[in-house]
Amino acid sequence: MAVLPSEPGPIGIFDSGYGGLTILHGIRQLLPQYDYLYLGDNARAPYGTRSFDVVYEFTRQAVTRLFEMGCHLVILGCNTASAKALRTIQENDLPNLDPNRRVLGIIRPTAEVIGQLTHSRHVGIFATEGTIKSESYNLEIHKLFPDIQVSGVACPFWVPLVEYNEADSPGADYFVKKRIDQLMRLDPDIDTIILGCTHYPLLLPKIHKYTPRGIRIVSQGEYVAGALQRYFVHHPAIEERCTKGGHVHYLTTENPEKFKESAQIFLHEPVEVDNITLA
């Protein structure tokens, strides 16, 4: 078993790149008192088209590193990692790494709120190819709300649009409209659409522009934050091991200067970033 720091530490938030910043933002709105350590594997993003084995291996490396850096709780702020790696890490890796630490995903908290949000009981999902193919959203929603019809569309170009800072460019309109039209053709009764990829809230202005009026667009940040707050109430031993200084530190596997520049788009504040290598 690895020797990990035992003293309390920050909450780890992991994503393939910048997308998890939308989750971090939502969590900090509700829980600003905690310390956070954000890790973006920008050098190896996107994850959305990668195989199960590769996403699992990259995510396992990231979680292990965040544990080594003092986190007792790591949130996979990435739907692709939550869909493809979470369960294996919880079941196979945690018992060896440290059975007292926790790794949580973001699909379940999103599925939990959907029942209250849809009236037509027809829900759409936009996500990466990996998340759509895993059927994780369908499975989680159906466990809780068997009556809801779920239709999903993969949006392979949306993550690069965000990662390359093109979310507001005129070129993005074509790719956004194309997928919205595809989803609405699949099921015209949809009244609620989940942005099942943490990068997609950055495309919200364009998504609103092309989505038929009256359809609710659900971004995950606030719901993940609410779920975490409830989790802490039920798991005080984990909560006690999360430090409270209101500080955030960022790590990237890419160039820190590049990360700093792009992170501003998400966070609108200066950030401290270090480079790390995952292996």
Instruction: Just list the catalytic residues.
Output: 78, 197
CB of 184 to ligand DGL, least distance (A): 22
**Helix pair 256-267, 20-30: axis angle to 10 deg:** 50
CB closer to ligand DGL out of 15 and 239: 15
The count of residues in the chain is: 279
CB 78 → ligand DGL: shortest distance, Å? 4
Q: What is the distance between the alpha carbons of residues 24 and 221, in angstroms, rounded to a whole number?
A: 7
User: Least Å distance between CB 61 and ligand DGL?
Assistant: 15
Answer left, alpha or beta for residue 198, where phi above 0 means left and psi between -120 and 50 means alpha.
Answer: alpha
In contact, 249 and 275? CB cutoff 8 Å? no
Smallest distance, ligand DGL to C-beta of residue 6, A: 31
| Cis status of the peptide bond prior to 46, with omega within 30 of 0 | yes
- Cα–Cα distance for residue pair 131/49, rounded to 1 Å: 9
Could you list the residues that contact ligand DGL (CB under 6 A)? 15-17, 19, 45-48, 78-80, 128, 131, 159, 197-199
When the beta carbons of 128 and 252 are compared against ligand DGL, the nearer one is: 128
Q: Which is nearer to ligand DGL, 65 or 72 (CB)?
A: 65
Taking the C-alpha atoms of residue 170 and residue 149, their distance in angstroms, rounded to an integer, is 33
Tokens at residue 220, please?
């995950």
**CB closer to ligand DGL out of 87 and 121:** 87
